[in-house]
Structure 1
Amino acid sequence: MQYQFPDNFWWGSASSAPQTEGHSLSGGKSATIWDHWFARQPSRFHQQVGPAETSGFYQHWRDDIALLKQLNHNTFRTSISWARLIPQGRGELNPQAVDFYQQMIDEMLAQGITPFINLFHFDMPLVMQQQGGWENREVVEAYAEYADKCFQLFGDRVQHWFTFNEPIVPVEGGYLYDFHYPNVVDFKRAATVAYHTMLAHALAVKKYRRRQQGGEIGIILNLTPSYARSGNPADQQAANIADLMFNRSFLDPALRGEYPQQLVELLAQHGQLPECQPGDSELLEAGIVDLLGINYYQPRRIKCRDSLVNPDSPFMPEWFFDHYEMPGRKMNPYRGWEIYEPGIYDILTNLRQNYGNPRCFISENGMGVENEGRFAQAGQIQDDYRIDFVREHLQWVHRGIAEGSNCLGYHMWTFIDNWSWCNAYKNRYGFVQLDLQTQQRSVKKSGEWFARTASENGFSGQ
């Protein structure tokens, strides 16, 4: 069967400033929380590879954009580094950063690639974190000023803006589960960070719309469908709470301008609600997005708890559910993640049926594999497993579109093997292989497949 996609479908990939630029303490850039944490605890990073040693985009941007062109990208998402553009978090611009981002955007446009620009990808400037990060409303204001400065500088050429990528990740990693700095385990503080992030988002949206630059602004959420183990009411309720906490806590404010009442009541019942101020609900309402980016990697399998909670343990989402390992599930053994392609269709269907069918696109979907060098033949990585992964997800995206979902594109994570938070280069995700020692780039088999698919606006499949 032939899978053809709508005209003007967005074919491309996604990356971020902190994962690709490198030069994390040069070119006028100030430290982010990642530079700080790596300096303090390098052992928390795979093979002690830190944020200064990423994919070298700051130097190789022109060559890399030529590779995007070679892979037939018509769109590409990356982010601007707040710490590079405004090293003190507020105030003075770094002219080297302004030049770098101007040239990057101009080169993408010259190559016929539409830039999708995200403003925050987990990379809080250290000077802002030292003021409390997202726990402090002053930082919310500072972020909105930074966003407005980006719109002023680049908004004449950038027509697709995003306020945040996966805003729940700094909440989970930094304030619940200790896998990102500042390594806090405190639900109430986590809830405050989540809430203030959405206020920051809404403030940026307001500032963008005030400028009337003719583009659109959205947010990128990692949506992970919660599947209950069974139809038993206890399992169903557990899955519903997981969905409220991990999906709807950002999805509802982004698409409806308000939080789910059920979530508010649950947190109020346990004394975990963040502090609200007059005007907050009007502000959230103003933050309803023009475009939703969907990052999908894996499903969340949920069952009810079968043991009582230790009342002295920290209040956590897992007070309400347990994770469930479904027998016979298909796994990516390298990343330890389940591969469940219909999940991408279920997300699109949920958005169509329950959220008014918003304009959306798949902003990330990808497969990380360890020691990819063993799949090299004649100097090229033969990553058929990645081709299968993308093709099978795209078949479900195609079905969603055929049923009326307003999905406008598909971006793979990622274009070139890049640095991945504490995992560094352990798992490779790119269409392009990066040799860290020589900085040489070489297109994998999957990159050639994607280039063909993008040029034909579809592919043949079973």
Structure 2
Amino acid sequence: MNIQFDADFVWGAATSGPQAEGTFHKKHENIFDYHYHTRPQDFYHNVGPDVASNFYNDYENDLALLKQAGVQALRISIQWTRLIDDLEAGTVDPVGADYYRRVFKTMHQLGITPYVNLHHFDLPVTLQHQYGGWQSKHVVDLYVKFATRCFELYSDQVTHWFTFNEPKVIVDGQYLYQFHYPNIVDGRMAVQAAYNLNLASAKAVAAFRQINRQPQGTIGTIVNLTPVYPASQAPEDLAAARFAEQWANDLYLEPAIHGRFPEELVARLKQDGVLWEATSDELAVIAANRIDVLGVNYYHPFRVQAPAVSPDSLQAWLPDIYFDNYDMPGRKMNLDKGWEIYPDALYDIAMTIKRRYDNLPWFVAENGIGVANEERFLKDGMVQDDYRIQFMTDHLRFLSQAIAEGANCHGYFVWTGIDCWSWLNAYKNRYGLIRNDLRNQTKSLKKSGHWFSQVAATGLVAPTLRPFESEEKNHG
């Protein structure tokens, strides 16, 4: 069955400065630049962010290719480490400022709308070393200085602004699960960092509205939502799922949309002696500066069960003392990434936003699939990525159903436009509509790029010829 989206539905792609630009002429190292230069062996095949996909030097050709792939809007990020010269004073490096202005000008010339995110994991490493990064409210204020410079410089070119990409991943990676430098495992620090990120977002929203007194554009945030599903309807599993939902999703949605933190979660953190340090003035800022629009990154569900070990056991506090992960038997998997494929959850996300979050305007800010060794699907000079087309089609089917039932979703952005560098995984898994041959930085549309172009032009999503399962067996 064909799926038809309205003519004003936005078809886009998402990427980030650290993953695409390369480190050319940057003023500062971010946490990944520093991690790579000190421990390159931690990165897949020792490949770091130095060149990435060379967007810094090749943005004109890259943007033309994205236009060819049907991309109507591109979500990119401004790197704090490239734009700002003196991090304390918040002064601007003119070379960095000119670069982003040229990028936005080229996008407008091609008819590609910029969606600009202000923080995509690129914390300047000196702020981590000097102040403890997102544990520090001084770093919050330095971030707001950076955001303010962005609004001052580019509000004539950009009308879609976002404060953060995936704040939960910052908390998980840096303070809980050791996949972002500095690889700390400390539940109390994680809780404070989560609060500070919410505070930083609200303060940036306030700065945006101070500069744009006559409403010009919108500002929001981008969260990775992992809908929580209990292993069973047993009371213990339901309790585990309730806490997991509050910790993983509501901790970021509630303050951004309702201006407050989940009461039950706050009570639990306070009882456990790990609640963040907050002031009444800060909470007032969060209450007064709610977002206009929400970006939702969705890749996989979050299945949990009651913990095998009681939370009352003698152990360090971590959020997952209240739940264990659960693997659903018979699940469909992207085995290269280790993520369950469950497109149904996109419908559930839409209904949650509709029922619990005021049906706020939102869009899919990232959705996609990365597979390893994608060269094996190269035929006649083109990657035949039917598995990616099927993945997107399945998710769009559930999204279309949600929109038909009143969900206020206005766009779908695929991760990603051009194969990009991906943190510790580097180029292990490829996500792009456009192939990047790393040997010579030659880029070309994949089959999915041609498909996406047709979808964007017509709003029509037609079934693919082959089911995903047949491809899944090939890359398991």
Question: Could you say whether these structures have the same fold, taking a TM-score greater than 0.5 normalized by the shorter chain as the test?
Answer: yes
In 2: Cα distance, 1:78 partner to 1:8 partner: 21
Match of 2:435, SS state, is strand
Q: 5 Å matches for 1:47-58?
A: 47-58=45-56
- Residue in 2 that maps onto 1:454: 456
* CA apart distance, 1:356: 1.1
CA contact (8 A) 1:28 1:96 kept: no
In 2: Cα distance, 1:56 partner to 1:172 partner: 28
Task: Please give the per-residue CA displacement for 1:162-208, whole angstroms capped at 9, x wherever unaligned.
Answer: 00000111100100111111111111111111111111100100011
- Residue in 2 that maps onto 1:65: 63
CA contact (8 A) 1:361 1:409 kept: yes
- Residue in 1 that maps onto 2:473: none
Amino acid at match of 1:160: H
- Residue in 2 that maps onto 1:31: 29
* Comparing 112-121 and 280-289, the one that deviates more: 280-289
CA contact (8 A) 1:28 1:94 kept: no
Amino acid at match of 2:272: H
In 2: Cα distance, 1:35 partner to 1:390 partner: 32
- Residue in 2 that maps onto 1:74: 72
* CA apart distance, 1:28: 4.1
- Residue in 2 that maps onto 1:246: 248
CA RMSD of aligned residues (A): 1.2
Amino acid at match of 2:46: Q
Which residue of 424, 427, 432 corresponds with 2:426? 424
Match of 1:51, SS state, is coil
CA contact (8 A) 1:28 1:87 kept: no
In 2: Cα distance, 1:7 partner to 1:162 partner: 24
* CA apart distance, 1:116: 0.1
- Residue in 2 that maps onto 1:148: 148
Which residue of 404, 407, 410 corresponds with 2:406? 404
In 1: Cα distance, 2:77 partner to 2:307 partner: 39
- What TM-score, normalized to structure 2? 0.95
* Comparing 428-437 and 127-136, the one that deviates more: 127-136
In 1: Cα distance, 2:119 partner to 2:295 partner: 14
In 1: Cα distance, 2:428 partner to 2:414 partner: 18
Match of 1:53, SS state, is coil
1:191 aligns with 2:176: no
Task: Please give the per-residue CA displacement for 1:371-401, whole angstroms capped at 9, x wherever unaligned.
Answer: 0000111011000000000011001110010
- Residue in 2 that maps onto 1:119: 118
In 2: Cα distance, 1:87 partner to 1:297 partner: 35
CA contact (8 A) 1:79 1:118 kept: yes
CA contact (8 A) 1:89 1:127 kept: no
* CA apart distance, 1:7: 2.4
* CA apart distance, 1:333: 1.1
CA contact (8 A) 1:30 1:88 kept: no
Match of 1:161, SS state, is strand
- Residue in 2 that maps onto 1:92: 91
Amino acid at match of 2:354: R
1:371 aligns with 2:373: yes
* CA apart distance, 1:129: 1.6
* CA apart distance, 1:2: 2.8
Q: Which runs of no fewer than 5 residues in structure 1 stay unpaired?
A: none
- Residue in 2 that maps onto 1:104: 103
Which residue of 311, 324, 328 corresponds with 1:322? 324
- Residue in 1 that maps onto 2:200: 200
* CA apart distance, 1:312: 4.3
Q: 5 Å matches for 1:428-447?
A: 428-447=430-449
In 1: Cα distance, 2:437 partner to 2:463 partner: 32
CA contact (8 A) 1:173 1:183 kept: yes
Task: Please give the per-residue CA displacement for 1:81-136, whole angstroms capped at 9, x wherever unaligned.
Answer: 00100033233211111111000001101111110000000010122222221111
1:360 aligns with 2:362: yes
Match of 1:52, SS state, is coil
* CA apart distance, 1:310: 8.2
- Residue in 1 that maps onto 2:161: 161
- What TM-score, normalized to structure 1? 0.98
